[in-house]
Chain A
Amino acid sequence: DAKTTQPPSMDCAEGRAANLPCNHSTISGNEYVYWYRQIHSQGPQYIIHGLKNNETNEMASLIITEDRKSSTLILPHATLRDTAVYYCIVRGSGGSNYKLTFGKGTLLTVNP
């Protein structure tokens, strides 16, 4: 799977949008970008995924650049409960059923 690079930590004010960047410059054409988050010691929680088009669901929006070398996860109105480690994962190769490979994510801290 393609390697991803994320900032180790970010801060966001409660109620503001949180924009979490991810670089995946070696992504292949058939690989998807997935975002998960993990709130302290809980199971990783699926947020959103996409291939090349921007995606939106009830939790977040995913913006993928046209060249697909980077993406941004947007939490439109961050709350204190969004404080978590956010993982950007590129998935689509490397094994028979495309396991999710977790790298070093971004610790997002939402401040009151």
Chain B
Amino acid sequence: AAGVIQSPRHLIKEKRETATLKCYPIPRHDTVYWYQQGPGQDPQFLISFYEKMQSDKGSIPDRFSAQQFSDYHSELNMSSLELGDSALYFCASSSTDRGWRNTEAFFGQGTRLTVV
């Protein structure tokens, strides 16, 4: 079965550079979620999209932005990178066909961002 695809899997950037992370949801999934997981931390919700519109926002820095495109893939754009942005970034997707509460979300394998 198709899974959530994230690219790149690894990314090394210098401070103050920009980075773009991509997420390709499972086909026919209409919702995408982004999470950040720092070293030794639990995944923290950043932002989500439903049908290409932002639907929820968590603790996402103003330096970060994201969008969902017409083909439902999503991109997380990160500017003015800081050392503290080094983390795993996960994308998840779900379908709302059984309602919001009763639908599992599936996660990709993540992008490991290292800021040096």
Contacts and interface: CB of A to CB of B under 8 A. Distances in A.
Contacts of B110: 41-43
Contacts, number: 66
Contact of B104 (A34, A41, A102): A34
> DSSP majority for the A interface?
loop
A77 B44 CA distance: 31
20 contacts: A32-B101, A43-B4, A43-B109, A43-B110, A44-B90, A44-B92, A46-B105, A51-B102, A96-B50, A96-B55, A97-B31, A97-B50, A99-B33, A99-B45, A99-B48, A100-B33, A100-B105, A102-B43, A102-B44, A102-B45
Interface of A: 30-32, 34, 38, 41-46, 49, 51, 87, 91-92, 95-105
Interface of B: 4, 31, 33, 35, 42-45, 48, 50, 55-56, 58, 88, 90, 92, 96, 100-102, 104-110, 112
